[in-house]
Structure 1
Amino acid sequence: MTHTHAGTGESHHGANRRTLIAGAGGLLMLAAAPGTAYAGATPTALGPRQAPGTGAARASLITQGTTLVHADLHNHTAMSDGDGDPELAFASMREAGLDVAALTDHSTLFSIEGLSQREWDRTGALADAADDPGNYTAIRGFEWSHPLLGHVNVWFTDNFVDLGGASSMSRLYNWINSSGGVAGFNHPGREILRFENFGYVAGAREPMIGLEMFNRGDDYLFDGWGDGQSSPLVACLNAGWRPGLTGVSDEHGTNWGFPEGKGRTGLWVTQNTRQEVLAAMRARRFFATRVSGLRLDATANDVRMGNVLPISRADVTFTLDLDRGPDWVGKPLRIQVLRPGSRAPEVPEVVDVEAGQVTRFTVPLDISDGHWVVLRVSDPTQPNPSPGPAGHPCNDWGVAYTSPWFLQP
């Protein structure tokens, strides 16, 4: 995948803090150039500060007890390598129509070009001031940043850690476990070592709740494919991890929450509070998308996405509630059933659907073919700018991903 930043409305001039720096472990590069917001993400392009429409209603048509909130869990400010005043970030995201927002500036090496303790405290004060329980949830987090291993977002901790305190994946996992927080794999596959090739650590499975599938305007399903790497989704899930799937804007400019076409996450919560947002994240009760206002809920044999599907071999009925409001009523979409493959996901079933309807279909699943299943929603009329194998069904434009189901007898 080629990452550019044309058309994002972001400014990355010499005044920001993105740079190569010399540290005890060698050169640290905090972030690559951001991706392009895909022009076909919405029927009409939005200006850089034009809020998206309200989209679909927030109540699921297939489950009860939760409400949809729209979230962006990965954002930066001038406290690390972003350009924007952190005082403005949470208000901008609320103005953009988001219900849940996080600031996650980089932690690197002894605060070199990353968070200091004072900036961490400031992030917490800003989040506390913006938090409006029941209406808007503001979260403090950080992005552990290693130039080779990869970047990991961490949320809901009292403190942060940098490479001085956690210089390897195992040390980071130990720190996350001891902190009581949750974490996710960021832009998976962008850094060369890919989290030690997603080396599995059983004790870290529960707090590692997220894998970014949309970052900025990019679909990471086949990231690195052209360079001979496997799909990050396949590598992560085949290794044994059980993350839900997220979309994030990874904003480095000043347009937090804007414009259309950047990743975001739909969370199903019982209340829009920090406690219940954390509960939804731990339950993997969320989906990834890069269009605003999308409602996606999904069950498999009445088991909600993100959960264990207690079968070894069975015909499984999937039920999807997929809507984006009046603009997308009747819009042709496609559902791809993703199953484990060696390098790319196998796709045993493709179902043509229309937005604004509840869809049901049945697929035989066998744990001998692999222990996970994901549903990908796509627009078949537009190409995937980062395609995988020639002729693969997912070489069209990705709209959303459900969190996985995990087969377990």
Structure 2
Amino acid sequence: MPLDPELNSLGFPKAPADTRVVVAMSGGVDSSVVAAQLAEEGYDVVGVTLQLYDHGAALAKKGACCAGVDIHDARRVAEEMGFPHYVLDYENIFKDAVIDEFADSYLAGATPVPCIRCNERVKFKDLLETAKDLDADCMATGHYIQRKLGDRGAELHCAADANRDQSYFLFSTTPEQLEFLRFPLGHLPSKDATRQLAARYGLPVADKPDSQDICFVPGGNYASVIEKLRPGAAEPGEIVHADGRVLGQHDGVIHYTIGQRRGLGIGGLDEPLYVVKLDVESQRVIVGPKEMLATRTVPVREINWLGDQEFQSRPEWHVSVKVRSTRPPREAVIRPTGPDTAQVELMVAEEGVSPGQACVFYQTEGSRILGGGWIWKG
């Protein structure tokens, strides 16, 4: 809530009824609570749900977002809370901006994070522009992250509940987008608090399970999706030890990721081995001991910088970084090598740093997100 009594809860100097807010509704409990809460506060709420892929495939799949059943759930919430709701067909946009790059990156031996690209290229780009076309004052989402006003404008901060924080997936939010976005759930202490609000509003999705998988990857089976998108992609090859020994055969590099230990198909060895490199050109999976996974130097590109000073105004930045969504931030030094490229030096080596993942920057003290970029091979 703003401190200025002249502003409403979304930060505008007018009555809620005169403030139009587009709510991005996935059909889940989080975005439904945001829409219901704002409607109850008297805002001019417009719910929008994106159809991102084929209904027939989506309806047969549980545990995803933006599927057919989720569109139905979002519509029910809008009807019960009394605000308009629209479904937009973004199937082609989603395929071009997210799915195709996911497939190509995976085939190149990377480990992509399509949820980040979806936020960056679809939800916070095309959908945000649609919200402006609807004369909205802002767009609200159910993400667990906080937007706070600093001396130089809106800042991005971690959610109050560290277990729900989604900052890793939102690092590419630009300052311009941040001015227009609102995240009403970011201050809540827990997901239980969100579900309690859903129950209070009597929402039909109050007990709906959280989505677990990437929306277009059923059961987390990346390889099956890649084979469907890129027929013939799974070419067989050799599993090779880092010392040059051929240990076995595989059915396609797409079945492996950096850091993988289980399911390598090379049993009977005395030492535990991990995937340390994917050689796509020669169709070889390189394995080795765990210590080969450790690295301290991480090349990063496509950096989105959210700091108050220009990114290249200093030779180095002392920050904390996340190189995986499930890992806590670790101390690091960022050394800019261009307007949107850098070498990141980790103070303590991390294992399994993989091209295609994000490297997200945080203040060493406090909750502010300073941006991030994409890890590449260098």
TM-score computed with the length of structure 1 as normaliser: 0.29
Ranked by relative contact order (alpha carbons within 8 Å, sequence separation 6 or more), the top structure is 1
- Please identify which structure carries the higher helix content: 2
User: Which of the two has higher C-alpha Rg?
Assistant: 2
TM-score by length of 2: 0.31
Structure with more strand by fraction:
1
